[in-house]
Every structure is written in C-alpha cells, then in structure tokens.
Chain A
Amino acid sequence: MALMQLHNLAVENRLQALDLELYSGEVLGLIGPNGAGKSSLLLALAGLLPYSGQITLKQKNLQRYSAIERARSIALQPQFVDSAWSLSVHDVVSLGRLPWGDADQKIIHAAMHRANVSELARRRVDALSGGEKARVWLARVLANQPQILLADEPVANLDIRYQRDVMRLLREYALSGHSVIIAIHDLSLAAKYCDRICVLNNGKLETTGRVEQVFDEQSLAAVFGTELFIDLERDPPIVLAR
C-alpha cells in the first residue's frame, strides 16, 4: 500500500498534472534539468505552493490535515537555508520539534547523533563550515521525525565525503520505516542511493521507475539535451555528461 499518492497533481505554470506513488522505506529521487519542476513538486507537497488535483497521505486527503498535522508528517529541507540569528546548533535542531510543541531532548540528541553534529551542539550555527551547516539543517528535519522527508538538493555545495554521509543518512532514515524524496542534480549519487527515480522535464513527469529502468543513455540524453555516459554495473555507478 502506498504511503502517499498524488493524483492529477498540478501547480499552475510550474507542473503539469502528474500521478505518483510513494512507498514506505524508499528514497525517491527527482531528477531533471534546471527549471524542470523538482523544487515546485517538493514545495507543493510541503504545503508551500497551492496545487490542483489530489494528494492522499495514509489514505486521507492532505487538504483535510491541519497545518500542524501536515507538518508533523511531512518535513521540508529547502535548497537554501540560513539562520537570521546566531543560534546555537542545539537550538536550531530543537526547531524541528516546533510542530510537536515539545522540546524532547532524547529525540533532539538522537537527531544530532544521527546527523553527526553532536559535537557541534554548543557552537553557533553561523560559525560553521558549509558541510557542517548542511548536516545541522538535516538534523533539524530529523528531529521533526516526519513520515516523509523532503530534501531539495541536500548535497549541493558539499565535498564528496559529506555528500556520501548525507546520502547514507537519508537512506538510513528511509529504511527505518519512513520515506524520503530528494531533488538531486548529481546523477551518480542518485543512481547509487535512490530506490526509484522520477524524471521531470519542463514541468512534466517523463518517467518513473527503478534506477536501471530509468537510467537509459538515450532517453536521458533527450531530457538533458546532452549525450550521457552511464555505467550502472560499477559500484558506485557512474552517470556523467559526455
């Protein structure tokens, strides 16, 4: 049974009607060129963009969830995050508990541990490096304990080690009975860590399927407008523009 179902979901001027299902335990990767509608899809799911069509979460129309109920089930990590104030890492991660109206220290510390930022707890977030910040933002989303975690380009601007760490973390989160949707430009990482891939182009859903079904040199070349080199036999797999 699907955890979430999108039926005829459309966002004015950004996304044409699409159908999609999301299952518990999976990482779904949204790929496609810039402006394809990846972020718009995530924003609509997080309640930040008005949409037409229907989204059902656990067999219940998302419109019938209150804002707080929705926020407890679906958490968003936007592409660009910054803290206006020089908050401590612990305070930023605690923000993840806002929808729950508590400050459960056990959950907050577990989230920091999971994102590997426990040692930074007392540091000021504006004094951290880009890689450290990215993990702190993720820890905030983890503390929210959402059923569905949405992450927009979670590994952009990270060095390769942090990219791997963040992708592993998202994968583990999905495996612990949740599901994760990420918008991602790095196709090699997408091939390695996503269970299923959704290809968007010009606001249209092109295909959805398992990595080996979707990562086809010819069809992806048409979407990205360039020749691709794809080798899924290797570990890690390689997907690059020629």
Chain B
Amino acid sequence: MANKLTSGLLLLAILISALSLHIGSVNLDVASGVWDWMRLIQSREALIVGEIRLPRTLLALVVGAAMGLSGAALQGLLRNPLVDPGLIGVSQGAALGAATVFYFNLFAGLGVLATPIAGLLGAAITLFILFGLSGSIARPGIIIMAGLALSMLTGSLLAMVLNFAPNPYAMQELVFWLLGSVSNRGLDHLLVLVPAFIAGSLLIWSQHRLLLGLSLGDPIAQSMGLRVARGSRLILLGAALLVGSAVAVAGNIGFVGLLVPHVLRPLVNYRPDRLLIPSALGGALVVLSADILVRLLPPERELKLGVLTALVGAPFFIWLVWKERQRWL
C-alpha cells in the first residue's frame, strides 16, 4: 500500500513538473529549451526554461517536500496530528533572520543569497534556544510550549522590524517576501536549499524507527533500546534544517506541512515511519500545483504562493475539524 502510494505520488510529481515547465507567459518548445540549456546553448528557449522555469519548478518541489517531510516528522515526534512545522518557532526565526538582513542591509557581499543565509542563521539560533529551553527532557508538551513561546517572541520581533521599516518600499518588499513565493529566484537559491534539504531529510530518515517506536509512548520506546532523547534532537534538527531553509528561500508557505501528512496518514495505515516519504512527495506536489495555479491567474497583481496555500488550506482544515467532530458525536 505504502509503496503503491509512493510510486503514484512520484509519477504525479513528474507529470506536474513537466506541466510546470510548459506553463508561463510565453509559449515555447520546452523540450528543445531543456536540450539547448543542457548543451549550454544560449537560445531564448534555453534561457526561459533554464533560468526561470526550471529553478522555479525545482524550488517549488523542494520547498514543498521540505514542508511535507518536516510536518510528518514533527507530528510523529510530538505524537500530535495538529503540529505544523511552524510550531517549533523555527520558521518564524528564519523569517526574522531574513527580515533583519533586509532591514539593515547586512551581508551585502553575499548578493541574492544574503536573505536565505540569514534565514538559515535565524532558524539555527531559534533551534538552539529551543534546545536550551526544552532541556534534555524531550517531552512533547515541553517542546510544543517552548516552540510556541519562541514563535511569539520571534513574531513580535518581526513585527517590530516591520514597524520601524526605513521606508514604505522596504516594508512592502519585506511583507511581500514574507507572504511566500518561489518566483524570481534562480539556481543560486537552490544552492542553499538543496544541501539543507538533503541533510535534513537524512537526519529525519535516520530516526524513522524511533518515530515508529514512539507511537506507544516514551517509556516503551526507551525500553525497546531506542535512544529517545538523542533521536528527538536529531529529528528537531532535521526539521529545522528543512523548514529554516524553505522559509529562508521562499518565505512562509503555510498549511502544507500540517495538512499533507494529515491527509496521507490513513493511506499508510497511520504508520509514522511510512508517512515520511509520501508526505515529502505530497508536499512537493501541492506546492508545485499551487504555484502553477498562481502562474495561471492574471499577472497584473501576482497572488503570492503562501497566500494561496493558506487560502485553500484553511477551509480544508475547517473541513477536517468538522469531520473530526462527526467522529466524536
């Protein structure tokens, strides 16, 4: 079942990726564009496909996979289906880091990579404080509380940065960036995102047995020889790498990390370990599809990707709450 699901999602992701390369403001021969781009021929097709559509497609895929995977991992670790990757405070920390760089114009030497790198730094600092706050006890309640407190703190600092924005344009740029988008980014951004994604995914995958063992609670997991405290930290670190880099590159893309694992869970027989890969694929699919939709809307005023996922995600979440309520009646 889980394997069929994975192959199905993978196939869909490939199809939607192909579609994504075809959709844009100009009509062109994508196949020859890709071929030219790979042979380093600077044709118009090669430029549009290689410099604009391919990075955008890859970014959407990786950002979506990062959100889906981190959501599944954190829900499994904290044994709570309502956990969103934003909950551990790391995404807010990344946003704050990026916004601070915007504001003070720091790291100017890094060019376009200043924001994503500052975002990763912000995520790292937040995670460090989270570890300090939650201590060696990896209790879900403590982690959630510490994460919430940090979200509030970084959120208020972010509001302050916005409050004191040097000029309306800086503020507008900041707000737009925070709304979340994968447009106007190049292959450079992938250089930050992809290594963080690979490292984070490997960290989480190395603990998939722990996620399964934690299903029956801490004491049983520990009695089964699993290293709960160490493994929990590795999962948090992995999730922080995924979320931090995704937010640092693309801003806030809400609801994907919460909803995708939630929807796929019954299809993997509720196994937290088997949920990881399908959630990554599902997240990639959702974000890429949403980005295609954004591109199809009238181009005068771009609807930001993060706004769209939240606009679609929130009603869906309301429906989930409704369905959950029916179960209890």
Contact = CB atoms under 8 A, between A and B. Distances in A.
Give the secondary structure class of A's interface.
Answer: mixed
Q: For this complex, into which size category does the number of interface residues on chain A fall?
A: 20 to 34
A48 interface: yes
Nearest to B271: A91
A78 interface: yes
A130 B31 CA distance: 61
Interface in A51-98: 66-72, 74-76, 78, 81-88, 91-92, 95, 98
A68 B215 CA distance: 18
A74 B220 CA distance: 12
Given A66-B225, A71-B223, A92-B215, 16 more contacts: A46-B223, A47-B222, A48-B219, A76-B219, A78-B219, A84-B214, A84-B215, A84-B216, A85-B265, A85-B272, A86-B266, A91-B271, A92-B216, A98-B209, A98-B225, A140-B216
B195 interface: no
B213 interface: yes
B32 interface: no
B214 A72 contact: no
Contacts of B270: 85-88, 124
B132 to A, nearest CB: 23
A116 to B, nearest CB: 20
A144 B226 CA distance: 14
Contact of B224 (A43, A66, A98): A98
B295 interface: no
A82 B217 contact: yes
A79 to B, nearest CB: 9
B42 interface: no
A99 interface: yes
Interface string B246-285: 0000000000000000000110011110000000000000
B282 to A, nearest CB: 17
Contact of B226 (A84, A85, A87, A98): A98
